Amino acid sequence: MPIFWIIKLTIQRSFRSRISYIIFGLLILFLFVMPLTVLNDGSIKGKVQINLMWTMGGSLLLLSFFSLFNTILNIRADIAEKQIYSLETTPVARWQVLLGKLVAVFIMNLGLVSFTGVVCYCFILKDYYELKSANENAENSLANNPKDESSLLI
């Protein structure tokens, strides 16, 4: 089926593109730096809300730019390399070419959104276990010395 070949070639061209590397680098930077720099209220709920709002929101913005630039650059490269003219002589319909390119971009975005979700989930889980252990230590300290007010500070 020609759509699968178009999908494969579009994905290969996207991975060879410099703009893809730049956006992947920004995504990695955004995913690993943003949760460490944004302040929250210290509760688990606050950390989750801030992490999801800023990290996922910013990542999805980057991914939308990736989709836009990737689609434009792939079609422009097909025209510049005159590959689009060779597709016109084959029995591949125009809708199949566009559908193949669109599906390729969707597949790449699905992978990147899944990666973004897993990274955010890992950060949230790490924060949850850190706060849980801090709360347990404070409760143990308060149980051992009920008049010590410093044990109330986490």
Q: 């500070």: which residue's tokens?
A: 153
Number of CB atoms found within 10 A of residue 105's CB? 20
Distance CA 101, CA 81 (A): 16
Phi/psi of residue 82, nearest 5 degrees: 60, 25
Q: 18-37 vs 2-16: helix axis angle to the nearest 10?
A: 70
Least confident range of 5-14, 31-40, 58-67, 100-109? 31-40
Average pLDDT, the chain: 82
Report the pLDDT value the prediction gives residue 107, as an integer from 0 to 100: 92
Of 153 and 136, the one with more pLDDT: 136
Distance CA 35, CA 85 (A): 47
Q: Is 106 a residue whose pLDDT tops 70?
A: yes
- What is the model's pTM? 0.74
Report the pLDDT value the prediction gives residue 77, as an integer from 0 to 100: 84
Q: Is 98 a residue whose pLDDT tops 70?
A: yes
Q: Which amino acid is at 24?
A: F
Digit-coded pLDDT (tens) for 114-152: 988 898 888 888 888 888 888 788 777 777 776 666 655
Distance CA 21, CA 26 (A): 9
User: Of the candidates 98, 89, 82, 74, which has an alpha carbon nearest to the alpha carbon of residue 13?
Assistant: 74
Q: Is 7 a residue whose pLDDT tops 70?
A: yes
Q: What is the DSSP letter of 43?
A: S
Of 97 and 38, the one with more pLDDT: 97
Digit-coded pLDDT (tens) for 46-70: 777 877 788 888 888 888 888 888 8
**Cα→Cα distances 15→18, 21, 98, 140, Å:** 8, 8, 19, 52
**Cα→Cα distances 1→49, 60, 125, Å:** 45, 32, 43
Percent of the chain exceeding pLDDT 70 equals 94
Report the pLDDT value the prediction gives residue 146, as an integer from 0 to 100: 67
